[in-house]
Amino acid sequence: MEYSFPHYLQSKRTVDDRALNKDVFAALKANLPKPPIRIIEIGAGIGTMFTRLIEWGLLTNANYLALDEMDENIAYASEWIPKWAGSTGLRTERIAENKIRLQDQTRDVRITFERTDVFDFIKTNSPKSDLLIAHAVLDLFHCQKVCQNYFR
């Protein structure tokens, strides 16, 4: 059997769902600015945090930039998320190879997958965002330097 990191990430999704602190999520939801919101996720993997935020009602109108350094994760996410969206009743539109729009009567969310090393991304980009997600990654950075460049 060949090892697949995307399969591993998919298989532990329900464990991660249960492990996330619901009080932190509630505080996040209560303090986000009015939509549309701009989100950058570092180490996005296959997009499970993105789908979770939609399922849990956080994302209704958003632009989501999902960064990951593994081609395999980006390829998996780009194919899996439209299938997932279809199973939940969301319409999907592939805007570009790695950019997808998901919509229904109450939601309009765009996700862009970018294969990049986060340090290279920081050196060459300075997009502003309302939320930086770095599940099990942010503790590797000097937050003051990263955060001042990416939040409005």
Per-residue pLDDT tens over the stretch 75-134: 999 999 999 999 999 999 999 989 999 999 999 999 999 999 887 887 787 778 899 888
Three-state DSSP state, 108: strand
Whole-angstrom Cα distance, residue 18 to residue 109?
24
Whole-angstrom Cα distance, residue 80 to residue 57?
20
24, 64, 73, 102 from 90: Cα distances, Å:
27, 16, 22, 6
**In the prediction, which pLDDT does 16 show?**
74
**In the prediction, which pLDDT does 145 show?**
57
Is the pLDDT higher at 90 or at 145? Answer: 90
CATH topology for 5-150 is Rossmann fold (3.40.50)
Is the pLDDT at 19 greater than 90? The verdict is no
Q: Which of 72, 28, 29 is nearest to 47 (CA)?
A: 72
Whole-angstrom Cα distance, residue 108 to residue 111?
10
Query: Rounded mean pLDDT of 49-66?
Result: 94
Whole-angstrom Cα distance, residue 70 to residue 142?
23
Q: Which of 23, 27, 28 is nearest to 39 (CA)?
A: 28
Q: What does the buried/exposed string (b/e) look like for 47-78 if buried means 16 or more CB atoms within 10 Å of the residue's CB?
A: bbbbbbbbeeebbeebbbbbbbbbeebbebbb
Whole-angstrom Cα distance, residue 49 to residue 52?
5
